[in-house]
Structure 1
Amino acid sequence: MKSMTPFLMFEGRAEEAIQFYQSVFKDVEVVFINYFESGETKGKVMQSLITINGNPVILNDANVSEASKFTPRMSFFIECDSMDELITIYDKIKSKGSILMPLEDYGFSRQFAWVTDPFGVSWQINLV
């Protein structure tokens, strides 16, 4: 296996998601972004690659309507080096998303939270 990269498929909101992630995380790089050039999805993201703190994530907009949605059963697990970093990420995601588990000491971690962003993508945030 050469690599394994998360691939997120949005319902017409991939570019909005990229902009949101740029506002949440300090180190987001758009490696490339290509757009659909015709049809109903014209101007939407055909494929993009971003990195979040060096970790690659592929994002695109579905070219057909999908019945499937993001669920918390699949999530990104983030380990933060400081409480300030954890709180910043937690506050930014929950401000436009929802809280699955509020920021607390759950025994398995000094501080942990589980939130869903406004696109339905789930994020577990942990203090190392």
Structure 2
Amino acid sequence: MAEATPFLMFQGGKGQAALDFYVETMPGSRIEKLELFGPEGPGPEGTILRGHAVIAGQKVMIHDSFIRHGFDFTPSWSFFLDVADEAEFDRLFAALSEGGAVLMPPDNYGWSSRFGWCSDRFGISWQVNLA
């Protein structure tokens, strides 16, 4: 049986910083395995060839592309976080949007008492919902 895993391709060697931020910020997150480019390349030494992590309970793969692409992350793909209390909502939304962009500020939009959408400083989009 095939297994689908979200794959996050970072550019400019930002993968490790992003992973460290998610593990530090997000409960239920951890790095499970990292394979780094060595001195023989083809990517810059120490950047992520293939990474396996769990972010807020979701398995993901990570890669630092050494090929420069004309595209990057888009808000049309996002992580959706259900958060149990308002203090945790505020903490996560503030941390995730710092250095990024607020796409929908926290508010009651009718489907939730509190919802916000942002992209983080690495370009990953997050929908934060007070469950």
Which TM-score bucket, shorter chain as reference? Answer: over 0.9
User: Scaled by the length of structure 1, what TM-score is found?
Assistant: 0.93
Residue 32 (structure 1) aligns with: 33
Structure 2 CA distance for aligned equivalents of residues 30 and 44 of structure 1? 15
- How much has 1:95 moved relative to structure 2? 1.6
1:118 paired residue among 96, 106, 121: 121
Give the ranges of 4+ consecutive aligned residues of structure 1 lying more than 6 Å apart after TM superposition. Answer: none
User: Scaled by the length of structure 2, what TM-score is found?
Assistant: 0.91
Residue 127 (structure 1) aligns with: 130
Identity over aligned residues, as a percent? 33
Structure 1 CA distance for aligned equivalents of residues 82 and 29 of structure 2? 16
Give a deviation string over 1:42-83, Cα, whole Å, max 9, x none.
Answer: 211001111123321111101311111101111111111111
Structure 2 CA distance for aligned equivalents of residues 51 and 75 of structure 1? 15
Structure 1 CA distance for aligned equivalents of residues 105 and 54 of structure 2? 26
Q: Does 1:69 align with 2:72?
A: yes
Structure 1 CA distance for aligned equivalents of residues 56 and 73 of structure 2? 22
Give a deviation string over 1:13-54, Cα, whole Å, max 9, x none.
Answer: 100100111222122211001101123422110011111233
Residue 81 (structure 2) aligns with: 78
Structure 1 residues 85-124: aligned runs within 5 Å = 85-124=88-127
Residue 44 (structure 2) aligns with: 41
Structure 2 CA distance for aligned equivalents of residues 44 and 66 of structure 1? 17
- How much has 1:3 moved relative to structure 2? 2.4
Structure 2 CA distance for aligned equivalents of residues 7 and 93 of structure 1? 19
Structure 2 CA distance for aligned equivalents of residues 9 and 52 of structure 1? 15
The alignment yields a C-alpha RMSD, in angstroms, of 1.3
Structure 2 CA distance for aligned equivalents of residues 54 and 107 of structure 1? 27
5+ residue gaps in structure 1?
Answer: none
Residue 24 (structure 2) aligns with: 23
